[in-house]
């Protein structure tokens, strides 16, 4: 028998109302022992909302009691919610009372874990709950809600169905001789394969957009024109990247902000390249376009979780840029291959949390830069610890991309004359990649990792 668990389910810090949640077979006994409805223990026969008096052993207080008998509850167990005054010491007393009465303190994420284990929700929904809890802004909350209501699992289910159909065709072709009823013409297979690949590509774009909306931590490259921001961007995100910035010796080439994924300290981030600070330095000035670029640069900077302030060591400016918050900034002392002996001035150093000497041209110091960015992300707070929703997006995307890659490669091989049994093998692998998203084949350690990130009470 599973233990009955209890926890404070409302947000920490004084709110007007606090919630104690209890789930498990002993929930009814606990509630009857500490609550009175109309002067008597409540009967708790069906799903109800009561006005009650809660006794924490030291005194009574008014409470709302929400009773949800299993299996019609989130965890499919009997669940009780006590809505009490939001005072933290009172809530602590109330929780202590439920523990005295036989409940065990809930482990992080345990309510949701039970919901997942009881088949109440699939993994993407569980992740949605998690993201919702950790959502730190309104638009993140919206994205998490979308995840929760099943935006992704609906899509995955459709993709999975297409893939299953394709696999069935392929297997039938392998398991029956040409003469049999089950034999499938290759043309039909190829058409099915294209449809599934397109579906996956579309889902990838969709997942990408969603990741942007929910906001991976943003690390923004800023600095004077020709300080080497774009060269750095290309270096950090891989030179072959599709969104590669245009790099030229000519200052001010970057008009639009470009972004790509960059993982620092294990956290998936968006690295954003911006136009240079000073349009007047551009000899080919097209003022309208430049003004728009400058505006975007301003926006990107204010939305930055961390600012990488790139400085040309061979021609350093005298002053730090205005309005940069030193504790979220890293001074990137670039082009040390050209200026070996130069060192940043005290004034520049004071404007940043720390500084790193690099050469975008030779690649020197880039690993240190990653570490410094991760540290700044940690110092900046918020972004790093609550980056979980982002981790999820990164995971979903990786699984989708893997499935897409496997299918594409397999079809190319098939076209080149590789046998059908190998194609079937790739379809199986692609199915497994998709299944990792919804938890159908999620290994236990991944489950543990995901569930341990839930905050207590949800």
Residue numbers of the site for other proteins (CB under 8 A)? 1-2, 25, 76-77, 114, 116-119, 171, 173-177, 179, 181-182, 413, 416-422, 424-425, 428-429, 432, 439-444, 447
Query: Minimum Å distance from CB 267 to other proteins?
Result: 26
Query: Minimum Å distance from CB 452 to other proteins?
Result: 13
Specify whether the CB–CB gap between 223 and 310 falls below 8 A.
Answer: yes
Q: Which residues of 302-317 are buried (b: 16+ CB within 10 A; e: fewer)?
A: eebbbbbbbbbbeebb
User: Within 10 A of 51 (CB to CB), how many other CB atoms are there?
Assistant: 10
Dihedral sign, CA of 94, 99, 100, 103? positive
Query: Minimum Å distance from CB 124 to other proteins?
Result: 13
Half-sphere exposure for 268 (CA within 13 Å, toward CB): 20
Taking the least distance from each CB to other proteins, the nearer of 118 and 145 is 118
Taking the least distance from each CB to other proteins, the nearer of 142 and 405 is 405
Rounded Cα–Cα distance for residues 334 and 405 (Å): 36
Taking the least distance from each CB to other proteins, the nearer of 138 and 444 is 444
Query: Minimum Å distance from CB 170 to other proteins?
Result: 9
Question: Three-class SS of residue 63?
Answer: strand
Taking the least distance from each CB to other proteins, the nearer of 240 and 444 is 444
Taking the least distance from each CB to other proteins, the nearer of 277 and 435 is 435
Query: Minimum Å distance from CB 323 to other proteins?
Result: 50
Specify whether the CB–CB gap between 264 and 387 falls below 8 A.
Answer: no
Helix 151-175 to helix 123-134 angle (10° resolution) is 160
Query: Minimum Å distance from CB 211 to other proteins?
Result: 25
Taking the least distance from each CB to other proteins, the nearer of 68 and 222 is 68
Taking the least distance from each CB to other proteins, the nearer of 80 and 306 is 80
Query: Minimum Å distance from CB 93 to other proteins?
Result: 29
Query: Minimum Å distance from CB 404 to other proteins?
Result: 17
Rounded Cα–Cα distance for residues 262 and 163 (Å): 31
Rounded Cα–Cα distance for residues 359 and 376 (Å): 20
Tokens representing 334 are 């670039």
Q: Which residues, at least 6 apart from 184, have a Cβ–Cβ distance to it below 8 Å?
A: 169, 170, 172, 173
DSSP of 202-267: HHHHHHHHHHHHH---EEEEEESTTSSHHHHHHHHH-TT-TTPPP--SSTT---S-EEEEEEETTE
User: Within 10 A of 205 (CB to CB), how many other CB atoms are there?
Assistant: 11
Taking the least distance from each CB to other proteins, the nearer of 309 and 451 is 451
């Amino acid at each position: 028998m599973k233990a009955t668990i209890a926890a404070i389910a409302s947000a920490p810090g004084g709110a007007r109302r606090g919630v104690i949640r209890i789930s498990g077979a002993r929930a009814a006994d606990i509630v009857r022992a500490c609550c009175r409805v109309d002067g008597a223990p409540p009967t708790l026969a069906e799903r109800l909302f009561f006005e009650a008096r809660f006794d924490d052993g030291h005194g009574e207080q008014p409470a709302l009691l929400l009773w949800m008998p299993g299996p019609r509850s989130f965890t499919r167990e009997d669940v009780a919610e006590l809505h009490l005054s939001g005072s933290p010491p009172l809530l602590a007393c109330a929780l202590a009372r439920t523990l005295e009465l036989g409940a065990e303190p809930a482990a992080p994420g345990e309510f949701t874990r039970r919901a997942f284990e009881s088949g109440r929700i699939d993994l993407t929904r569980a992740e949605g709950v998690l993201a919702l809890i950790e959502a730190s802004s309104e638009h993140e909350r919206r994205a998490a809600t979308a995840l929760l209501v099943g935006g992704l699992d609906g899509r995955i289910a459709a993709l999975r169905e297409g893939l299953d159909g394709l696999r069935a065709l392929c297997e039938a072709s392998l398991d029956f001789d040409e003469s049999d009823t089950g034999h499938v013409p290759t043309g039909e297979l190829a058409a099915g394969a294209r449809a599934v690949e397109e579906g996956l590509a579309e889902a990838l774009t969709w997942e990408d957009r969603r990741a942007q909306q929910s906001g991976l931590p943003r690390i923004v490259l800023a600095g004077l024109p020709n300080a080497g921001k774009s060269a750095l961007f290309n270096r950090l995100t891989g030179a072959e990247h599709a969104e590669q910035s245009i790099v030229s010796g000519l200052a001010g080439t970057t008009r639009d902000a470009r972004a790509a994924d960059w993982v620092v300290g294990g956290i998936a981030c968006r690295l954003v390249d911006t136009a240079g600070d000073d349009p007047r330095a551009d000899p080919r000035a097209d003022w309208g376009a430049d003004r728009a670029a400058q505006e975007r640069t301003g926006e990107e900077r204010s939305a930055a979780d961390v600012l990488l302030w790139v400085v040309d060591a061979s021609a350093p400016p005298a002053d730090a840029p205005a309005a940069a918050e030193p504790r979220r900034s890293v001074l990137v002392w670039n082009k040390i291959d050209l200026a070996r002996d130069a060192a940043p001035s005290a004034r520049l150093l004071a404007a940043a949390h720390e500084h790193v000497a690099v050469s975008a041209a030779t690649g020197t110091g880039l690993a240190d830069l990653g570490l410094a960015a991760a540290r700044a992300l940690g110092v900046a707070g918020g972004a790093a610890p609550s980056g979980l929703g982002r981790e999820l997006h990164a995971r979903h995307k990786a699984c989708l991309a893997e499935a897409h890659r496997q299918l594409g490669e397999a079809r190319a091989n098939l076209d080149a004359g590789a046998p059908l049994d190998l194609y079937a093998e790739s379809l199986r692998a692609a199915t497994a990649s998709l299944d990792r998203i919804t938890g159908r084949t999620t290994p236990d350690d991944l489950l543990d990792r995901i569930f341990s990130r839930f905050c207590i009470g949800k």
